[in-house]
Amino acid sequence: MDLEQFTSILNADLNNGLPGFDAQNLMSPSIREHALKTSDPSIARDSSVLLLFYLKNGQLHLPLIKRTTGNTNHSGQISLPGGKYEESDANRTITAVRETNEELGVECEKIKILGFLTELYIPVSNFMVLPVLGYCEKRPDFTLNEFEVEEIIEMPVVQLFAEDNIGEFTIEKDGFKIHAPYFPAQEHKIWGATAMILSELREIFLRSGLI
């Protein structure tokens, strides 16, 4: 399948509506229910992330990032490029593109927008995240912002969304025992909000026959 076929099929499927929360919830960690009870989505800060498709070695890929270790709520985690909406941004699509440029060095004008997934509230950081779908006609020349990004993980979509590419693990964090499903990505675990966003995308790919 070439990129033109992919974008045509995905665009057509997005017009059928989004799987929404039910699809996101398939990869929800156990702590989320508790976190939602102690947070207020009505005062969440707007943000967005970019799911950026491109072909590499003839296969559709998505880039994920390992954030640098620091004092933020998401330091060291595997994430999608993106961040907080700024007043200078015309909208959250611009936010996602700008942040991808800042974090991965992808030229803004080379990113073409396909559509959006369902918003997701992240209690730990009080962000309301809009997942933006986009693509580049050629693999981008990535230049990592070493202050924010420790590593880029280029994942073939077919491998990422394979039927047997879902695991589960348990960790202790802030006094809680958390059970979490995850997508293996090389030697990393994609879990939490990023896995929930990818879960909805996986459902779209399944129903449209893209995987």
- 13: enclosing H helix or E strand: helix 3-14
The secondary structure of residue 110, as a DSSP letter, is: G
Please report the pLDDT score of residue 89 as a whole number: 98
User: Residue type at 92?
Assistant: R
Q: Work out the angle between the directed axes of helices 3-14 and 193-208 (0-180°, nearest 10).
A: 100
- Residue-number span of the structural domain to which 162 is assigned: 3-208
Residue 71: pLDDT above 90? Answer: no
3-state secondary structure of 39: coil
Asked if 54 and 138 touch (Cβ cutoff 8 Å), the reply is yes
| pLDDT tier, 16 (very low <50, low <70, confident <90, very high otherwise) | very high
Residue 76: pLDDT above 60? Answer: yes
| Residue 204 dihedral angles phi and psi, to the nearest 5° | -65, -45
Residue 26 belongs to a domain with what CATH number?
Answer: 3.90.79.10
> If phi over 0 gives left and psi between -120 and 50 gives alpha, with beta otherwise, what is residue 105?
left
Residue 48: pLDDT above 60? Answer: yes
The answer for residues whose C-beta is within 8 angstroms of residue 192's C-beta and 6 or more apart is: 29, 77, 180
Per-residue 3-state assignment (H helix, E strand, C coil) for 149-182: EEEEEEEEHHHHCCCCCCEEEEEEECCEEEEEEE
Note the pLDDT tens digit of each residue in 87-137.
Answer: 999 999 999 999 999 999 999 999 999 999 999 999 989 999 999 999 999
| pLDDT tier, 174 (very low <50, low <70, confident <90, very high otherwise) | confident
Give strand ranges (E) for the chain: 45-56, 59-67, 78-79, 82-84, 112-116, 120-122, 127-135, 149-156, 167-173, 176-185, 188-190
The pair of three-digit structure tokens given for residue 21, joined into one six-digit string: 């929360």
Q: Would you tell me how many other CB atoms lie within 10 Å of the CB of residue 12?
A: 10
Residue 176: pLDDT above 90? Answer: no
Note the pLDDT tens digit of each residue in 128-153.
Answer: 999 999 999 999 999 999 999 999 99
Looking at the 3D structure of the chain, how many domains does it have? 1
Lowest mean pLDDT among 60-74, 140-154, 165-179: 60-74
Q: Would you tell me how many other CB atoms lie within 10 Å of the CB of residue 161?
A: 21
User: Residue type at 16?
Assistant: N
